[in-house]
């Protein structure tokens, strides 16, 4: 079942077209890699889909419903959740309270139900010491907390924007396994932006490649990584 | 242990507040009313501040409530007691309309617009001479509510404080706490977690403004008259702000501590040197902002649990 679809999605910042005519779709249970060189428009694309910014043209559809101009908080309620490349902890809330926010507002749960949900989600990510301040957390714990906050929305579509960045290889391996389990158990469609190709290779079923805002290739990682256009995008044009 | 101590202190303060009319004469009761009024205003200011929005509009909504109350009595023939909830409703309604227009502004822009509110209302009241009494003000023909009984006026002020306190504690224990803190910490993360930022800000602005209007109604009925310069006085913005800053922001306890300390200190200073208390206020605001941004309560909490390292 198609969870999310964009048609000709375009966003220009004055003269710069950050996302240009991108059409794609995400299926239930699919882990999709979104790759491309720096400045290719990956984060802008996620911002468009999650409602942080609005497109210049094109459409976004969620489960068949047009959500192109729906505000971010309404999309969160429908079932689209995300994390951020630059961490966004809510510093004046504890770890568990950070996670509860997703459940309270996206699902409309009461505080007690939200706490139970948050505890369940934290447990699935191996988070402990739930009443700690966010200033006491390691970077891995903050990343997990942000994933947990997104999962507490009980989303059907989840975007992870460079969630592995800054983690060492053991931590990365641990998180990859957890994301795979969570995606399978919760039947999520997951969009993953990563720069480390090992992560993409291991984690994703399919990738889309953006370059200068345009979608230039699509398919399983093994296939796409041999695509000459993709290689050129990453290595630069041969002199 | 900390929580038990807080409970004991709160109980003692509550008992003192209730017993005061039996123990004290008219002057201490008058001082207590003043302190409670400013305390309540400080609490309502802090409630909106928990979302990160700094309002300088307290005097505006307070004065609006004051005029709604006294004009409700004089022009619409309301009983004095009924004009107080009417004042709350009037300021809340005004806040709904104003908030709808200005709550998309942030930071300095929001603050400056709210700063103008008191001035705008004051000028309007000045100029609607026939209806409002103009610059000379307006006097309620039946005089002060409850016949001016010192203890009755004290209970009324305590009631106003109880409303502000109740609302603030409710904010701390409900979804408001999560919504406002999330908005203050990170609006983008809040919105993608489903927080409808505008609605929560509007609800908070309407509720706090309604309470400020209520307090304006209580104030004006306790004196039986209003002038634009008295009810829209900048004191009603600056003193609560100084109290909350001194005591500590983003919670109920700080404004209470600040109001007690500054309220009593300024009353004493007024007797020592007229208007000298205003100088002290200025100095306190500067010292607090420079050296203890979390106020006395924040400082006390920090000292209560020292040497907690930050894990990086």
Together in a domain, A159 and A57: yes
pLDDT at A192: 95
Residues A27 and A138 in one domain: no
In a domain, A84, yes or no: no
Q: Tokens 């000459």, residue? A: A228
- What is the arithmetic mean of pLDDT over A202-229? 92
Please name the helix (run of DSSP H) or strand (run of DSSP E) that holds residue A12, with its range, or none. strand A2-13
Q: Which of A107, A130, A152 is the last residue of a domain?
A: A152
Query: Position of tokens 């900390």?
Result: B2
Q: Could you tell me if A71 and A159 lie in one domain?
A: yes
Subunit contact A153:B194, Cβ cutoff 8 A:
yes
Same domain, A75 and A159: yes
Examine the domain organization and report whether A29 and A123 are in the same domain.
no
Question: What pTM does this model have?
Answer: 0.92
Domain shared by A147 and A180, yes or no = no
CATH of the domain at A20: 3.40.50.300
Q: Tell me which H or E stretch contains A7.
A: strand A2-13
Same domain, A205 and A161: yes
Task: Test A93 with B185 for CB contact under 8 angstroms.
Answer: yes
CB contact under 8 A, A90 and B192: no
Structural domain contains residue A85? no
- DSSP assignment of A59-82 equals EEEETTEE-TT--HHHHHHHTEEE
Q: Mean pLDDT across chain A, nearest whole number?
A: 93
Give the minimum alpha-carbon distance from B176 to chain A in angstroms, rounded to a whole number. 11
What's the complex ipTM? 0.93
Sign of the CA dihedral with B240 first, then B242, B243, and B249 last: positive
Kindly determine whether residue A76 and residue B192, on different chains, have CB atoms separated by under 8 Å: yes
pLDDT score, position A217: 92
**Residue A17 domain-assigned (yes or no):** yes
Reported residue count of chain B is: 312
B306 pLDDT band, cuts 50/70/90, is: low
Same domain for A51 and A71, yes or no, is yes
Question: What residues make up the domain containing A227?
Answer: 2-79+155-235
Residue A188 bridge partners (DSSP):
none
Claim to verify: residue A47 and residue A162 sit in the same structural domain: yes
Which residue is listed with tokens 């009241």?
B125
- What mean pLDDT is predicted for residues A41-59? 95
Contacts of B171 (CB under 8 A, 6+ apart): B47, B50, B177, B180, B204
**pLDDT at residue A22, as a whole number:** 95
Give yes or no: residues A146 and A160 share one domain: no
Residues 128-187 of B with CB under 8 A from A: 174-175, 178-179, 181-182, 184-186
The total of structural domains in chain A comes to 2
Q: Tell me the pLDDT band of A30, cut-offs 50, 70 and 90.
A: very high
Task: Give the residue from A52, A72, A139, A153 with the most B CB atoms within 10 Å of its CB, the best one to mutate.
Answer: A72
**Is pLDDT at A89 greater than 90 in this prediction?**
yes
Same domain? For A231 and A180 the reply is yes
Residue where one domain finishes, among candidates A132, A152, A172: A152
Looking at A152, A174, A189, the residue that finishes a domain is A152
Neighboring chain A residues of B195 at a CB cutoff of 8 Å = 73, 101, 105
Judgement on whether residues A108 and A159 belong to the same structural domain of the protein:
no
State the average pLDDT over residues B59-88.
96
For position B81, what pLDDT does the model report? 93
Q: Closest-CA residue in chain A for B311? A: A136
């Amino acid at each position: 079942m198609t969870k999310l679809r964009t048609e000709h999605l375009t966003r220009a910042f004055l003269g710069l077209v950050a996302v240009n005519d991108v059409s794609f779709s995400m299926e239930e249970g699919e882990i999709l890699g979104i790759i491309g060189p720096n400045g290719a428009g990956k984060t802008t694309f996620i911002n468009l889909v999650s409602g942080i910014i609005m497109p210049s043209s094109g459409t976004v559809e969620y489960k068949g419903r047009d959500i192109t101009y729906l505000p971010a908080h309404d999309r969160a309620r429908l079932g689209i959740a995300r994390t951020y490349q630059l961490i966004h902890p809510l510093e004046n809330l504890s770890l568990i309270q950070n996670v509860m926010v997703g459940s309270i507002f996206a699902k409309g749960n009461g505080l007690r139900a939200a706490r139970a949900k948050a505890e369940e989600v934290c447990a699935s990510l191996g988070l402990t010491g739930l009443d700690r301040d966010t200033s006491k957390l390691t970077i891995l714990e903050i990343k997990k907390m942000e994933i947990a906050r997104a999962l507490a929305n009980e989303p059907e579509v989840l975007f992870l924007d460079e969630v592995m960045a800054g983690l060492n290889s053991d931590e990365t391996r641990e998180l990859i396994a957890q994301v795979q389990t969570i995606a399978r158990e919760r039947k999520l469609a997951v969009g993953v932006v990563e720069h480390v190709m090992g992560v993409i290779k291991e984690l994703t079923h399919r990738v889309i490649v953006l370059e200068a805002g345009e979608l230039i290739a699509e398919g399983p990682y093994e296939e796409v990584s041999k695509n000459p256009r993709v290689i050129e995008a990453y290595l630069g044009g041969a002199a | 242990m900390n929580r038990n101590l807080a409970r004991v202190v709160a109980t003692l303060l509550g008992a003192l507040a209730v017993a005061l009319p039996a123990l004290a004469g008219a002057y201490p009761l008058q001082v207590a009313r003043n302190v409670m009024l400013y305390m309540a205003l400080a609490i309502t200011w802090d409630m909106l501040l928990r979302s990160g929005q700094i309002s300088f509009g307290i005097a505006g909504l307070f004065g609006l409530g004051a005029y709604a109350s006294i004009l409700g009595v004089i022009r619409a023939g309301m009983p004095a007691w009924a004009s107080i909830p009417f004042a709350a409703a009037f300021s809340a309604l005004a806040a709904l309309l104003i908030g709808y227009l200005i709550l998309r502004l942030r930071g300095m822009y929001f603050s400056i617009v709210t700063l103008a509110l008191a001035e705008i209302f004051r000028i309007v009241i000045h100029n609607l001479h026939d209806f409002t009494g103009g610059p000379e003000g307006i006097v309620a023909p039946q005089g002060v509510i409850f016949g001016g009984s010192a203890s009755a006026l004290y209970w009324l002020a305590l009631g106003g404080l109880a409303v502000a306190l109740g609302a603030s504690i409710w904010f701390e224990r409900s979804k408001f706490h999560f919504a406002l803190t999330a908005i203050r910490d990170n609006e983008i993360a809040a919105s993608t977690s489903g927080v409808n930022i505008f609605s929560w800000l509007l609800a908070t602005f309407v509720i706090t403004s309604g309470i400020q209007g209520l307090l304006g109604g209580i104030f004006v009925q306790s004196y039986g008259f209003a002038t634009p310069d008295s009810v829209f006085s900048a004191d009603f913005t600056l003193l609560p702000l100084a109290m909350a800053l001194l005591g500590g922001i983003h919670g109920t306890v700080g404004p209470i501590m600040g109001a007690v300390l500054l309220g009593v200190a300024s009353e004493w200073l007024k007797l020592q040197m007229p208007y000298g208390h205003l100088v002290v206020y200025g100095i306190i605001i500067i010292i607090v902002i420079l050296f203890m941004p979390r106020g006395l309560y924040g400082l006390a909490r920090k000292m209560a649990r020292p040497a907690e390292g930050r894990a990086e």
